[in-house]
Amino acid sequence: MENIDGIVAEVIVPYGLNIVGAIVILIIGWLIASWASKRVRKACEKSERIDKTLTPILSQSVKVLILIATVIAVLNRFGVETTSLVALLGVAGLAVGLALQGTLSNFSAGVMLMLFRPFNVGDAVNISGVMGVVDEIGLFSTQMHTFDNIFMIVPNSNIWGANISNFSTNPTRRIDMVFGISYTDDINKAMKIIREALDADERVLKDPEPMVAVGELGDSSVDIFVRPWSKASDLWPTRFGLIKDIKERFDKEGISIPFPQRDVHLFQEEKGQK
């Protein structure tokens, strides 16, 4: 009995207290990390000096740092020395790095997105054919929604290695339109009608000057290329409005937009001819 009591007093009780203490430290560390992360996020959202793009990164970084400090505190509780810990972390880091190459690739791509900033939160982008608006840029993935409001989570490695078109970077955009008229219509009259429609729309910019020119002689129509400029935010409303206005002006002035057509020639053989 004395030996059992000695083992309990010298081994089980101290280790049991260390385990309980470690659990308490982990719980407190997790709560503090979550609280600090939320506080940092709220502070960043209220601040006008901090870009919205950096908000999730700063919030996640604070949480990770506190959790790392918590783990170190737990290990110190069990008497693990710092030098041994560094060596252990080095070996573990190598093993984890080999096992999580995709995750580390996403992390490194997230860092590059933060440094070079090809887009910001709220920008409309096209990433390898996928178009949408950026909602949040994280350490490992980017959240966005398409123009028809479908939520998407894209790994950062897929973004950084892809072609990125940012529709929100430049303040102005060019609108490309083509209007086909009949070969029997007056080209100069049609071009005049188009210019009048462009001048009447206040959203069309005067500089750069809109271009109206005969672009192609198609199979069924003479194609007039129209290239006005507008603010990036006005692009689609301006385009839709101009198409409607020009069509109505064409109808009023008797300018036709022909349907594709073909001329078919029939040859009749003479009787008795084989």
Fold for 172-253, please state it: Alpha-Beta Plaits (3.30.70)
Neighbours of 173 (CB within 10 A): 20
pLDDT band of residue 124 (cuts 50, 70, 90) is: very high
> What would be the CATH architecture of the domain defined by 119-166?
Roll (2.30)
pLDDT at 54 over 80: no
Give the range among 8-17, 69-78, 140-149 with minimum mean pLDDT: 8-17
pTM, rounded to two decimals: 0.59
Of 207, 168, 194, the closest CA to residue 250 belongs to 194
Instruction: Give the distance between the most distant pair of CA atoms in the chain.
Output: 131
Average pLDDT of every residue of the chain: 81
pLDDT at 273 over 60: no
Tell me what pLDDT residue 93 has: 59
Domain extents in the chain: 2-99, 119-166, 172-253
CA 156 remoteness from chain centre:
10
Phi, psi of 84 (to 5 degrees): -65, -35
- Rounded alpha-carbon distances, angstroms, from residue 117 to 53, 54, 123, 190, 252: 9, 10, 11, 45, 49
* pLDDT tens digits, 17-36: 667 777 787 888 888 888 88
**Surface-to-core class of residue 67, CB atoms within 10 Å of its CB (0-12 exposed, 13-18 middle, 19+ buried):** middle
> What's the CA gap between 59 and 39, in Å, rounded?
8
**Domain 2-99 has what CATH class?**
mainly alpha
Higher per-residue confidence, 108 vs 82: 108
pLDDT band of residue 104 (cuts 50, 70, 90) is: confident
Which tokens belong to 226? 């129209």
